Each structure stands twice: as C-alpha cells, then as structure tokens.
Amino acid sequence: MFDSVGIDGYNSFMTKRFGVSIPDELLAKLDKLAKKKGYSNRSEVLRDLVRDRFVEEEWATPAGEVVGTVTLVYNHHAHDLSDKLADLQHSHFQNIISTTHIHLDPHNCLEVLVVRGKSQKVKEIADRLIATKGVKHGKLVMTSTGKELV
C-alpha cells in the first residue's frame, strides 16, 4: 500500500493488495488476454476490466454524465444524406461538441463526432445518426468523463 499525490492533486490515490480466488482456467484465460493485449501484469489488466465495468454503469444510468464518440461512414452522394446529418447535428449542438470530417475517397465520408451529456440523450442522438438512411456504418464508443474513475 502506498500513497501517490500528483503535483496537480489529481493523481492522489492509494493502492491496496487483496487476495482473489479464481478458477485456474479463468486465470489462465486472463493471463492469455493480458499477454495478447500487451499488459505488463495481471493487476493492470484487472484494473482496466474493473474500470470498463464502471464505465458501463455510468452509461446504464440514464442521467449519468458521459462522453463518447460517434463514427459514421456514408456516401455523400446519397440523396439528402449530408443535409439530414447536418440538420440532426445542429439540432443537438449542445451535445455534439466536436466533429471531424474526412473525405475517404471521391464518394465516401468518415465523420467522428464527440458527444457529451446525459447517457440517455447521447444514446438517442447516436441511434438517430446511425439509423439515418444511407449511413453505411456507424458506431457509438461509450467512454467516460473520467470524473468517476480512478
């Protein structure tokens, strides 16, 4: 157990060691996963798994304050699609805090939107964007404001 206090005070944390009973097979799978993903040790992979579960909880709370990214791939020649997507984004300008547009080729566009707000609202916006007719692929990556994570 040790204390670590960062210069800015944000990295203040304590670390505890504890024993965990876990079936051999599950531990072997965990070690395999850690190796595959490039973790340097079991503790780090476990911490990340726990944090990931807490991020899931943040998103499961409809009023939870969350951050995410919406990735969209679409053909900008598709009828009215660019206008529809722009209209949707303007309707939710408070929640869409950044947009990056990349012209992938003469036809296809990639957009990455940074979205923030109550989880329920952010999910609704993402669903509507992704479900817009003509969007070839869309994905919401749900992450965290970091405030509730250590």
Residue 126 Cβ, how far from Ni ion at the closest point, in Å?
20
Report the nearest approach of Ni ion to the CB of residue 97 (Å). Answer: 20
| Position 139 contacts Ni ion (CB under 5 A) | no
Contact in structure between 87 and 141 (CB atoms under 8 Å): no
Q: Which stretch binds Ni ion (CB under 5 A): 50-58, 100-108, 126-134, 141-149?
A: 100-108
Q: Is 85 exposed, middle or buried (0-12, 13-18, 19+ CB in 10 A)?
A: buried
Q: Which position among 37, 103, 107, 136 is part of the footprint of Ni ion (CB under 5 A)?
A: 103
Closest approach, Cβ 101 to Ni ion, in A, equals 6
Determine the Cα–Cα distance for residues 44 and 1; give it in Å rounded to an integer.
Answer: 16
Decide: residue 129, CB within 10 A, 0-12 exposed, 13-18 middle, 19+ buried. buried
Task: Tell me the angle at which helices 24-37 and 42-60 cross, rounded to the nearest 10 degrees.
Answer: 90
Cβ of residue 112: shortest distance to Ni ion, in angstroms? 12
Nearest-approach distance from CB 105 to Ni ion, in angstroms: 9
C-beta closer to Ni ion: residue 34 or 109: 109
Which position has the token pair 């919401």?
Answer: 140
| Interface size with Ni ion, residues (CB under 5 A) | 2
- Dihedral (CA of 74, 75, 76, 81) sign: negative
Does 107 participate in binding Ni ion (rule CB under 5 A)?
A: no
Residue 109 binding Ni ion, by CB under 5 A: yes
Please name every residue paired with 3 in a beta bridge, in sequence order, or none if there are none.
Answer: 14
Q: Which residues bind Ni ion (CB under 5 A)?
A: 103, 109
